[in-house]
Structure 1
Amino acid sequence: MYDNTDQVELRIDRFVRDHIVPAIYRRSVPLRIESWDVPGEPVAFREAVRQAYRSVDIDTPWSRPWGTTWFHVSGEVPAGWGSDGTAVELLIDLGFTQGQAGFQAEGLVYRRDGGIVKAIEPLNGYVPVTADLAGVIDLYVEAASNPDVGGSAFYEPTPLGDPATAGTEPIYTLRRMDIAERDVNVWELERDSWTLIGLMRELDPALPRRAEILRALESMCDAVDPDDVAGTAHLGRDALRRVLGAPAYASAHTSIAVGHAHIDSAWLWPTRETIRKCARTFSNVLQLMDDDPDFVFACSSAQQYAWMKEFYPELFERIRARVREGRFVPVGGMWVESDTNMPGGEALVRQFVAGKAFFLREFGVDPKVAWLPDSFGYTAALPQIVKGAGSDSFVTQKLSWNDTNKMPHHSFLWEGIDGSRVFTHFPPSDTYNSDLSAADLARAQRQYAEKGRSNISLALFGFGDGGGGPTREMLAAARRTSDLEGSPRIRLGTPQGFFEEAKATLPDPAIWTGEMYLEFHRGTYTSQARTKQGNRRSEHLLREAELWSATAAARGLLDYPYGALQSLWETVLLLQFHDILPGSSIAWVHQQAESEYSRVAAELAELIAAAQRALAGTGTAELVFNAAPVTADGVVPLGASVAATHRPVRPLQRQDGTLLENGIVQARFDESGLLVSFVDLASRRELVAPGEVASLLQVFRDIPNNWDAWDIDVAYRRNGTDLRAPISVGVAGDVLEVTHAHGASRITQRYWLLEGARELQIETVVDWHEHATLLKLAFPLDLRADQAASEIQFGHVKRPTYVNTSWDHAHFETIAHRWVHVGEPGFGAAIANGSTYGHDITRTMREDGGTTTQVRESLLRAPQFPDPHADQGAHVLRTALAVAPGVLDAAAAGYRLNLPLRTVTGASPQAVSPLVAVSSPGVFVEAVKLAEDRSGDLVVRLYEAQGSRVTTTVEFGVPVSRVRPTDLLERELPHPGWAGEEPVELTLRPFEIVTLRASRA
């Protein structure tokens, strides 16, 4: 007997495609269509229905890029439709590209009274005609003509990401608006066939089960009459019934399937479109819940719920009702699914503070599962933050994208820098947008790393990125694979239920310690420098505004601006979303971000000034306010004093160059303005490696293999140019200025040295007009450092400077916050920055036997996609090169650069005493504020910064009656606390975060 498997499969595919699928809808009639084009930004339903509509036909082009057209559709259901195993639906095709679920036009359907029915998506284009319509169709469709900026090609520069360049011609053509009669039995037959065809192709050809399914599908083709599919579909289903009814293997993997719809809060669309995407997706979800009582949907991002409450209150109340049932499940607990590499420690805490406050206030729900499936790597500080916010589990997916190494676990304990551990799961299907296909399920079963010890995983299903979320087809797939031979078992459930079961089946999980570095998307540490600078500045301004406002309020000098600070924090938290702060969004998104950061800075400056004026009083004395938790030569930390600010020293010009010296350090520049020496005068140690130049500008070709704004590939190192020949060198006042030209760009480095300081200040002013080019600032240092310490949230991580393994090799571009430290015992250097995150740190051996450790900052990029004008124009970037024996010295330099002193004219020479002070130099106060519940209690967040156990005392600058430790959400912990008159003594483990709440006396 010969093997004709290939021919049989071809027959099955064609029979389903050409006969069964076309028979799903028995008949259809067109609707009457009228339209109105919105002249500007989207409008609400109540405004849209008052407009004058014009009659239009199918094949009519509609709407410009980013425009909106409202369609009014009307008609009558023909008599007799909707009986005899059929359902009446509307079928709408706005001009979709059928190959992808999102990245294109979408629509939202309203009843005449303004109630939302569901959405229209490329792969979800039906609207049920419910009994309450009584056969009369009178609906409105809000159609968004969002352009395909990059869903089909993530390489080409495009003008579509900016409304100013996107054009005004219509980009979609209306294809279909019909009343249709769906044959439910034929639809079920198509779902039976889809499930079995997919399963068959995942099975080993040698397995009898595969052959059994093949022959059953062949019998189905024989049983169904292509000329009468509706009349014979039941015979086809009978032919498949036995193979569909065969139970799963006893050892089959189980996947808990949870509905999901990964909606980026901005990306290839602006936030205003995200609001509408949420409404569309959530309306689809609610409609499915009406039809399927077992369906559960998980949704993170309190911001997206808040948008629904503000802009779609009726929809929000429907969501609230399903939340009460436990079927619409808030997860994550964060304001948005933020990046975790670049937000500061307090900002990551506030993601949970703001997010959980919303969920508790609106739903009475405290999500226990942290949820970041798509962020670009995960800081080693996150386990402690997750646990401190009251959560116990964590979900992500992104590390399946690693380009070099495969993560060895799917269910495990993730241990952070302080020792905190959180149970973590990676869905082994390697997607958070599953359609529950046989391919996805088989991949999960095949790849699950804990097999043999555990046999359960999580499956997140639904079209993401504006694709509309879960569909009825996916739910049909879940039902068919709940217990099917050859397939993993699928069970609909909740995230919390999954984690309870997973922890029970894996009582002794493996441990992953430290950061979860994504070996991909390394360019996101640098792309869109202005967005990153706005974030860094906003975080520090928020710190100052809270500190000085709390200090003034605690002393009865002004009212604490609770509402303003909450609103400003929510803006900054939104902009930390994992496609905004990383610089991977369209131009429109980053233009809005920069505008918002400007507004935030202006409003915070007013709050800071008002509080400092209140504290300073009236007078002519100069008070110096310091918000940094470090002492700097007589300046009181977290308070104000009358100490004068340090002045720059005068540069000394010599025949061989320029000298800057303050008795502590000496910086020497050659006649070309290149930094050739930086000496610690006390030890006489030279920091610049022999024969090298520090603060050296380097430009590299930057053409990644895949995703422009996202990626830096290691190959960039092969094509670099040092800028050693400036076009001008000169002294302007107390500053040495060195200007370089490269291509169409001009770069000026400005150097100055303050009296009493151990760091050289470097300001790089760039007028950037390059493309596909990476600008770095290099510091080759005469140090042998096996590891480099890089600041992260509430501490630092140490990474090797050598390359022993593939894991080391993959870390060729890494993240640091305000500082990097490299050193030998007792001596070292810090490179501090004002808004730079990307770094690479390497070491080489010299012919003299010494070691050069090189630290390079990645200052600017110029990616072409998705914003072809990314990073173009003017930038001012701050760096400091400091003598720093240890990490606390590096941290001090980082704080000083990012929290400059403020001088205010005020009353007497009497200083404004600190509101809170700690006795240990290794404990940093990260936040001082008033409590979120507006009780007036003081809240202080501090952490151990060196990585060692330490005991400290905490003192308050105002009378307090009681002090209690709390979690990050300011909820009291089981601890007796301290009476107000006794000192607060704390012993902190390495990198421990402590939050104290003090009631004022």
Structure 2
Amino acid sequence: MPYEAKKIMLDKAKSALSRLLDAIYEPIGELTVHAWVTKEPVPYAERTNGTPTGTLRVGDKWAELWDCAWFRFEGKVPAAAKGKKVVLLLDIHGEMLVVDKNGIPYRGLTTKNSTFDLTLGLPGKRVVEVSACAEGGETVDLWADGACNDLFGNFKDGTIKEANIAICNENYRHLYFDWEVLSELAEQLPDTSARKSQVVQTLYEASLVIAEINPETAGKASDMLKRELERKGGDPALEVSAIGHAHIDLAWLWPIRETVRKGARTFATALRNMEEYPDYVFGASQPQLYQWMKDQYPELYEQVKERIKEGRWEAQGAMWVEPDTNVSGGEALIRQILYGKRFFQQEFGKEMKVLWLPDVFGYSGSLPQLLKKSGVDYMMTQKLSWSAYNAHPHHSFFWEGIDGTRVLTHLPPEDTYNSPAAPRSLVKIESSYLDRNVSGHALMLFGIGDGGGGPGEEHLERLAREKNLSGLPQVVQESSLAFFHKLEREADRFQTYKGELYLEKHQGTLTTQGRNKWYNRKLEKGLRELEYVSSLLWALDGVPYPADKLEQIWKEVLLYQFHDILPGSSITRVYDESLERYAVLYEEVSALTKEAYERLAGLSGWNGEAAVFNSLPWERDAWIKQGEDWHKVAVPAMSGLSVKEAIRETSVAGMSASERELENDALVARFNAEGHLVSLYDKKHRREAVYPGEAANVFTIYHDDGDAWDFPQDFRDRLAGTMKLAKNEAYVEGPHAVLEQTYQYGESSLKQKIVLTAGENVLRFETEAEWKESGKMLRVAFPVNVFSDEVNCDIQFGFVKRPTTRNTMIEFAKDEICAHHYIDLSQYDYGVALLNDSKYGHSVRGRVIDLNLLRSPPYPDPLADRARHSFTYALYPHEGNLIDAGVTRKGYELNVPLTLTEGRTDRVGSHKPVQLIAIDNQRVMLETVKKAEDSDRLIFRLFETAGTHARTKISFGLPCASIEEANLMEEPIGLLREKASEVELEFAPFEIKTLIVAITK
């Protein structure tokens, strides 16, 4: 007699799973449910202050999206449950945090109907244990903090779905997971495998036994499956390190306030699971999240600290949050690491060695140096697997940054941080691991992430059965740091990948939510200015340095750099709230800076005269307006002068403005009847910057029916129109020749002042836009008279070259690219740079430089960029390449203006103006001056800007007791000079150096 067909046997075996699942929980009574509803969360002590709902039953509606409520579940365990394991089954079609009798978080629950990628498993958590062996008659009185939203912020229907007392049949539960693991193992094994045939046969025979599920048949089936589960894998070729994880977006499809509660729910669940599963190791990143727990759930936080001390809980990641690394500035990324590492060290005594960035939208080529100089040796991410056109060639490799620094990097081969920890996970890891020929170790992150929740019992039950199961790679639950230590032992065989890690997806995030990006740039520069002047005041006169206030502001700015806030990919409420806070922070930084400069002016002995200050490390000539008067001033590097001392005689002769032409002593700009720039003639070098016969500064609008992350690659073929010139006016104002133009499109308008300034070779475009379009993208392009196969793009602490050609799929995929202060297209003898003060998305094809100004996609914020915007960009035609032309300096000058301070007579002194630092090499930039975190010394952060070796003499304007080099964590690594005020430094290309200087007072 032949055997039954293998497929039929496996199908029959799999069909038993749903019957087993239904048999696990046996409802034996209903709970009485009451709720007190509020619009915002309230603490446990105020749990009955909301609007009472009265008694709720299954199917009753209790709230709308984002409503909150404290729930009370009451009941009595029936006498029939004596000797049985009793649980509660709770589902409010939202999220809940169950608390103990003292109001301390106990366990997180989530509706089983949460939005999730169901190929990764089911996300719901609905079970709360009452008793492992009930006496019968126990009183149930349970409180829970509820949220009317699912894991991803979606509104289901705000109704009660389940509120029952139930018996948990442990034998059926164990049999279910035995069955699930073996049936999936059989699916993953090749048809020719003897192991598969044997597993399928066993499952088939067991399915016949449990035609009727009862304790006797379940026991027999368990014995049959046991022999297959006890088969070991032998000596493994690949070991998978598994760590529980719950990647939590600090804001996304929910507001920040809900993230705080998501953190509590997730952390509480992890703690309870650790009590049930002794092998379980869990990891959580982002000190900001821990800080919220410390502030709002202190008892929960103390439990976490104990597990970290024990080694079962891994504090992960070296940054304050998991930030966007394209748009965030260089110093901001350093502060992410500085504050992140300090928190984990101070709170838990843990030195962070791994950068944990599972979900950001591309990785700046500056990161490896930032990591290594911060004592971070390893990096983990998986987002590169999302690239649309080209697969990244490695999962384990050395990533080399723009300066040559390398960091050991691993991408989990499963390509997710939401692993179900199922047999299919392990098979995918083994089959997909691109470096399995040279590595025997890979990482797996299991649990429910993004919206939080983390691993459930299903993940841990699977892992318990998969430790060393024949047919699968071996699995060990351990920390990611332990994994990297193993990986490092193999690393001498790994390949190196050089340059930025570009994600071929989510390029729209370089532009979406332009107001947030404007505030981010302004606050980064504003904090730089405030730290500089506060350092100078402290060094000169002992004025207290506002360290606590600066840290507070920095940390909030860093929070908004989270990879779903700053990139523009969150819901409307996130931007309503962050923009409100940005405005407060901006005003606070501005006020503190103004006060500090006024005090500095008084100390400098100018007797109440107005003064002008320059925080950049080179002398600057610029025009300032004092009252109704314009003055050309020259201000020394890192210093200031009274306006009277700074004024330089100059002529504004040759300035002219008409509706078709602007001219100063350096440039002539010509415009056509539509207001477009058709010529920018460089008088000194007798060169035309705009490509002849083409128009520049055309405001082009494209259909954009993508989302906040993405717009179509073929957007140029989806033209919606151009903004039309409605009116223009030309005039000369002081040293400025101005053409003021107003454009219209639909209900939107854009007003632009195009400005040439006497003595300057930059054409500025000062822009205000009232954008009201939906599903549209606004861009402006400049066809320039330059030919180059590469464009130079400003990034943090250097620049990268990117192709202007589209010869390969790699080049095609990099159509939209990130740049900060400038993007520059240069040939050997001439070039044109496009500078900006708050934009990041660019595209360069051939000779056309294209700047992405605004996007208004419909999701997830239907109001994205539909608002009033202000921004400035500028064209800088120049002789030679970007290095010879000082493009880096031009970018800084656009973003860091001189500071004019009105004089004060109530705070005067006799200090002479001090040039705090002088640098004799124009290719070395001073990025930061600040007071050290832990000492009365000053920090000076410098970097080489040109990608060359550089030697420079650094001189300080105040006597120095010592000059030391430090790492980015402000830890001294070498004494350079004692009792001297100057030092010589040598820089490698794009190298960052940090000096820690003791000022003699």
Q: Is the pair's TM-score, using the shorter chain for normalization, greater than 0.5?
A: yes
Partner secondary structure for residue 986 of structure 1: strand
> 1:418 offset after TM fit, Å?
0.8
Determine the C-alpha separation between the residues in 2 that align with 1:279 and 1:635.
53
2:708 corresponds in structure 1 to 709
Alignment of 1:750-765 (within 5 A): 750-765=753-768
> Is 1:34 aligned with 2:46?
no
Check 1:344–1:192 CA distance in 2 against 1; reply closer, same or farther (3 A cut).
same
Q: Percent identity between the aligned chains?
A: 37
Check 1:143–1:15 CA distance in 2 against 1; reply closer, same or farther (3 A cut).
same
Determine the C-alpha separation between the residues in 2 that align with 1:347 and 1:136.
53
What's the CA shift string for 1:102-155, capped at 9, x where partnerless?
xxx10001122212221112311111225799843221011100268776xxxx
Determine the C-alpha separation between the residues in 2 that align with 1:143 and 1:150.
13
What's the CA shift string for 1:735-765, capped at 9, x where partnerless?
2112221122112221111222121110222
Determine the C-alpha separation between the residues in 1 that align with 2:381 and 2:987.
30
Partner secondary structure for residue 751 of structure 1: strand
> 1:278 offset after TM fit, Å?
0.2
Alignment of 1:492-531 (within 5 A): 492-531=477-516
2:672 corresponds in structure 1 to 670
Alignment of 1:814-829 (within 5 A): 814-829=817-832
Larger CA deviation: 29-38 vs 519-528: 29-38
1:167 corresponds in structure 2 to none
Q: Structure 2 length normalisation: TM-score?
A: 0.92
Q: Which one of the candidate residues 88, 103, 106 is aligned to 1:114? A: 103
Partner secondary structure for residue 487 of structure 1: coil
> Is 1:621 aligned with 2:622?
no
2:857 corresponds in structure 1 to 863
Check 1:480–1:652 CA distance in 2 against 1; reply closer, same or farther (3 A cut).
same
> Is 1:807 aligned with 2:805?
no
Check 1:619–1:733 CA distance in 2 against 1; reply closer, same or farther (3 A cut).
farther
Check 1:520–1:768 CA distance in 2 against 1; reply closer, same or farther (3 A cut).
same
> Is 1:67 aligned with 2:56?
no
Preserved CA contact (<8 Å) 1:65 1:147: no
2:121 corresponds in structure 1 to none
Aligned-partner residue type, residue 726 of structure 2: I
Alignment of 1:18-97 (within 5 A): 19-38=19-38, 40-49=39-48, 54-79=54-79, 81=81, 83=83, 86-95=84-93
> 1:94 offset after TM fit, Å?
1.3
Preserved CA contact (<8 Å) 2:770 2:869: yes
Larger CA deviation: 291-300 vs 74-83: 74-83
> Is 1:205 aligned with 2:191?
yes
Check 1:231–1:25 CA distance in 2 against 1; reply closer, same or farther (3 A cut).
farther
1:235 corresponds in structure 2 to 220
Determine the C-alpha separation between the residues in 1 that align with 2:393 and 2:74.
56
Determine the C-alpha separation between the residues in 2 that align with 1:754 and 1:858.
25
Check 1:209–1:546 CA distance in 2 against 1; reply closer, same or farther (3 A cut).
same
> Is 1:405 aligned with 2:408?
no
Preserved CA contact (<8 Å) 2:86 2:134: no
Q: Structure 1 length normalisation: TM-score?
A: 0.92
What's the CA shift string for 1:390-442, capped at 9, x where partnerless?
11000000000010000010000000011111000000001001111222221
Partner secondary structure for residue 903 of structure 1: strand
Determine the C-alpha separation between the residues in 2 that align with 1:251 and 1:523.
43
Preserved CA contact (<8 Å) 1:558 1:614: no
Alignment of 1:578-977 (within 5 A): 578-617=563-602, 619-633=607-621, 634-641=634-641, 642=643, 643-644=646-647, 652-653=656-657, 657-704=659-706, 708-720=707-719, 723=722, 725-734=724-733, 735-843=738-846, 853-884=847-878, 885-888=880-883, 889-906=886-903, 912-933=913-934, 935-973=935-973, 975-977=974-976
> 1:82 offset after TM fit, Å?
6.8
What's the CA shift string for 1:273-330, capped at 9, x where partnerless?
0000000000000001112222111111000000000000000000111111111111
RMSD: 2.2
> 1:28 offset after TM fit, Å?
2.7
1:994 corresponds in structure 2 to 993
Aligned-partner residue type, residue 59 of structure 1: G
Determine the C-alpha separation between the residues in 2 that align with 1:336 and 1:649.
53
> 1:613 offset after TM fit, Å?
0.6
What's the CA shift string for 1:331-390, capped at 9, x where partnerless?
112110000000000000000111111111111111101000000010000011111111
Check 1:721–1:370 CA distance in 2 against 1; reply closer, same or farther (3 A cut).
same
> 1:912 offset after TM fit, Å?
3.0
Partner secondary structure for residue 232 of structure 1: helix
1:222 corresponds in structure 2 to 208
Partner secondary structure for residue 773 of structure 2: coil
1:847 corresponds in structure 2 to none
Partner secondary structure for residue 560 of structure 1: coil
Determine the C-alpha separation between the residues in 1 that align with 2:294 and 2:693.
63
Determine the C-alpha separation between the residues in 1 that align with 2:228 and 2:377.
41
Preserved CA contact (<8 Å) 1:150 1:866: no
1:849 corresponds in structure 2 to none
Check 1:415–1:52 CA distance in 2 against 1; reply closer, same or farther (3 A cut).
closer
> Is 1:184 aligned with 2:186?
no
Determine the C-alpha separation between the residues in 1 that align with 2:561 and 2:704.
25
1:533 corresponds in structure 2 to 518
Check 1:644–1:280 CA distance in 2 against 1; reply closer, same or farther (3 A cut).
farther
> 1:572 offset after TM fit, Å?
0.2
Determine the C-alpha separation between the residues in 2 that align with 1:683 and 1:557.
50
Q: Which one of the candidate residues 196, 201, 213 is aligned to 2:182? A: 196
> 1:714 offset after TM fit, Å?
1.5
Preserved CA contact (<8 Å) 1:341 1:378: yes
What's the CA shift string for 1:907-944, capped at 9, x where partnerless?
899973322221110010101000112x2210111100
Check 1:187–1:394 CA distance in 2 against 1; reply closer, same or farther (3 A cut).
same
Determine the C-alpha separation between the residues in 1 that align with 2:755 and 2:181.
69
Structure 1 gap ranges (5+): 96-104, 152-159, 161-169, 844-852
Larger CA deviation: 549-558 vs 441-450: 549-558
Determine the C-alpha separation between the residues in 2 that align with 1:316 and 1:251.
38
Check 1:862–1:827 CA distance in 2 against 1; reply closer, same or farther (3 A cut).
same
1:163 corresponds in structure 2 to none
Check 1:23–1:254 CA distance in 2 against 1; reply closer, same or farther (3 A cut).
same
Determine the C-alpha separation between the residues in 2 that align with 1:731 and 1:47.
63
Preserved CA contact (<8 Å) 2:86 2:133: no
> 1:486 offset after TM fit, Å?
1.6
Aligned-partner residue type, residue 794 of structure 1: F
> 1:779 offset after TM fit, Å?
0.9
Preserved CA contact (<8 Å) 1:260 1:460: yes
Check 1:747–1:367 CA distance in 2 against 1; reply closer, same or farther (3 A cut).
same
Aligned-partner residue type, residue 117 of structure 1: Y
Larger CA deviation: 643-652 vs 472-481: 643-652
> 1:71 offset after TM fit, Å?
1.1
Determine the C-alpha separation between the residues in 2 that align with 1:700 and 1:825.
34
Determine the C-alpha separation between the residues in 1 that align with 2:765 and 2:983.
40
Partner secondary structure for residue 327 of structure 2: coil
What's the CA shift string for 1:953-988, capped at 9, x where partnerless?
222222221111111110111x23311315211101
> Is 1:175 aligned with 2:161?
yes
Preserved CA contact (<8 Å) 2:724 2:745: no
> 1:872 offset after TM fit, Å?
0.3
> 1:56 offset after TM fit, Å?
2.5
Check 1:485–1:939 CA distance in 2 against 1; reply closer, same or farther (3 A cut).
same
Larger CA deviation: 418-427 vs 232-241: 232-241
> Is 1:573 aligned with 2:558?
yes
2:115 corresponds in structure 1 to none
Preserved CA contact (<8 Å) 1:937 1:1000: yes
